[in-house]
A and B are shown apart, each in its own frame.
Chain A
Amino acid sequence: MPPKKLESMVAFFLPAAVREHVLGDLQERYRSPSQYAFDGLRTVPMVVVGRILRTAKPRRLALEGASILLAYYAGSVFGGGEGIRVWLAAAITLTALVVRDAYTAIECRVRPVTAFEAAVTGWLIQLGFGILPAKTALLGASISAALLLMVRLSGESRAPRAVTGSLDEVPERARRFEKTVRGRNLREYAGVGMVLLMFGFAASRAKDWTQFAPPLLMCAGALLTGWLLRKYGTPLRLPPSLEGIDLLRFYRTEVERQRRLLSTVWRWYLGPLIPGFLAIFIGQMARRPDWKTAVPAFFLFLLMTSAVIWLNRREARHLKREIESLDAIERDLLVR
């Protein structure tokens, strides 16, 4: 039997998903404490690397990396900090996120709460090493936690993936879909609230119109986005009396409405926010021309915008598959 302390130490460094069987394997190979320690030292790093490769998906990682970078850039606008330090802070947070995912993910499912943990870890490391001014670090960590949480939750809020099925499954699928859309809308409204709070605060501290206009435009854009989402994206309640093919058609109309909404996200979701973003850039450049920060920040903004469009179009494609599946069920019923 390996010494308890040694075993606990190895267990501490092993990710949760593999701890049970790797500890068992190491115990089976146990000959002496030194052999066990050597075995553990050789095995644990490889196991962690294996978990990182398993849980870190390149596309999600790119989106999360861009979100963190955008958050720290936004933080540096208000709290100061040089370009390279902003990148370093973002890299630290992303690393914390990747490692935390590897340690906590069950199978390949990453948890949304890890976003918050990674942001806090990144913030603590930065404070410890004094990488960014305290205000920038706090702002960057808070915004990155919010953005990462949104990215993770939007990744979770998938529409039903069924490509086939029977009429019996439709009520459950319709209920799940309504719940998913309501959840997404609530999160978006929370996002609008956050933008209003953040930029409302910035507007309240403005000294002149050049400082007042950009946050005001952002607030107006966020309000318009929220209003458009409410107008076009609120799901209709499933009438309890509806059943059979009528329910299927009702559900199909709802899915089609959401699909159209997602495929035109640039028009109603991003479009209203663009004047505000541009005003921030222009105002910032007019006050303190700093191309070293402005150019990467602008490209980052383009990257984030493209990522939002891509994610929503992907969801729209999933919904199209759902519509095709519903059409197949209807065709099948009519043939019979």
Chain B
Amino acid sequence: MAKADSIGQLEQLVLTAILRLGDDAYGVSIHSTVEELTKPRAVSLGAIYVTLDRLESKGMLTSRLTDPTPERGGRAKRCYRLEALGERALKESAVTAKRMWDMIGSALGGRKWVKEY
């Protein structure tokens, strides 16, 4: 089995957004979901496109153009789908984040912000 590439934070966020959105994962919806995750930090739509391009070239995503819709001025959406490689990379990142969180919890368990989460 091929080893999944390590991915950066924005890539993790974009993959998570696509996983959550399912069939409706396209530029605007992915951007809104990522902004929801990074609140209060804003992310530009351009940064989302660059990340989507990078993830697609790594083989973690595939994309297809949908039928044009009137609310988009008769233009198609590019919808993204998570591929096995992307899912594995996301899983590896989530496992690492979980381990990190457990370690923080055991080291700083008494702190208020740790208890809150």
Cβ 8 A contact of B28, one of A25, A51, A53: A25
> Is B27 touching A25 in the complex (CB atoms < 8 A)?
yes
Bound complex: CA A22 to CA B68 (Å):
13
Q: Mark B29-58, 1 if CB is under 8 A from A, else 0.
A: 000000000000000111101101110110
Is A46 located at the chain interface by the 8 A CB criterion?
yes
A18 CB within 8 Å of chain B: yes
Bound Cα distance A90, B56 (Å): 31
0/1 interface trace, chain A 25-44, chain B, CB 8 Å (1 if under): 11111000000000100111
B50 and A25 form a contact (CB under 8 A): no
- Given A28-B72, A43-B45, check contact A21 B26 (CB 8 Å): yes
Which A19-74 residues sit within 8 Å CB-CB of chain B? 20-29, 39, 42-47, 49-51, 53-54
Q: In this assembly, does A91 line the interface, its C-beta being within 8 Å of a C-beta of chain B?
A: no
- Nearest residue, chain B, Cβ from A2: B73
| Complex contacts, A1 vs chain B, CB 8 Å | 73
- Is the C-beta of A202 less than 8 angstroms from some C-beta in chain B? no
Interface centre among B26, B52, B75, B78 (most CB of A within 10 A): B75
Q: Which residues of B contact A7 (CB under 8 A)?
A: 73
- Is B76 close to A, CB under 8 A? yes
Residue A108 is within 8 A (CB to CB) of chain B in the complex: yes
The answer to whether B73 touches A44, judged by C-beta atoms less than 8 angstroms apart, is no
* A24 CB contacts on chain B under 8 angstroms: 68-69, 72-73, 75-77
Say yes or no for B104: interface residue by CB 8 A criterion: no
Tell me if B50 and A53 are in contact (CB < 8 A): yes
- A42 CA to B46 CA, complexed, in Å: 7
User: B116: CB under 8 A from chain A?
Assistant: no
Task: Report B64-103 residues with CB < 8 Å from chain A CB.
Answer: 65, 68-69, 71-73, 75-78
Which residues of chain B are within 8 angstroms of A22 by Cβ–Cβ distance? Answer: 27, 49
Contacts of A42 in B (CB 8 A): 44-46
Q: For the complex, count residues of B whose C-beta is within 8 A of A.
A: 24
Find chain A residues with CB under 8 A from B26 CB: 21, 25
A53 touches B54 (CB 8 A): yes
Task: Write out the residue numbers on chain A whose beta carbons fall within 8 Å of the beta carbon of B46.
Answer: 42-47, 50
- B50–A28 contact, CB under 8 A? no
Closest to B56 in A: A54
Contacts A25-B26, A28-B28, A47-B49; A20 near B75 (Cβ below 8 A): yes
- Which chain B residues lie closer than 8 Å to A50 at the CB level? 46, 49-50, 52-54
Please report A residues at the B interface, Cβ cutoff 8 Å. 1, 7, 18, 20-29, 39, 42-47, 49-51, 53-54, 108
Starting from the known contacts A20-B65, A42-B45, 11 additional A-B residue pairs (CB-CB under 8 Å) come to A1-B73, A18-B49, A20-B78, A21-B26, A21-B77, A25-B72, A43-B44, A47-B49, A49-B50, A50-B50, A53-B54
Interface residues of B (CB under 8 A from A): 26-28, 44-47, 49-50, 52-54, 56-57, 65, 68-69, 71-73, 75-78
Nearest 9 A/B pairs, CB to CB = A46-B46, A24-B75, A24-B72, A21-B78, A50-B50, A25-B27, A50-B53, A43-B46, A27-B73
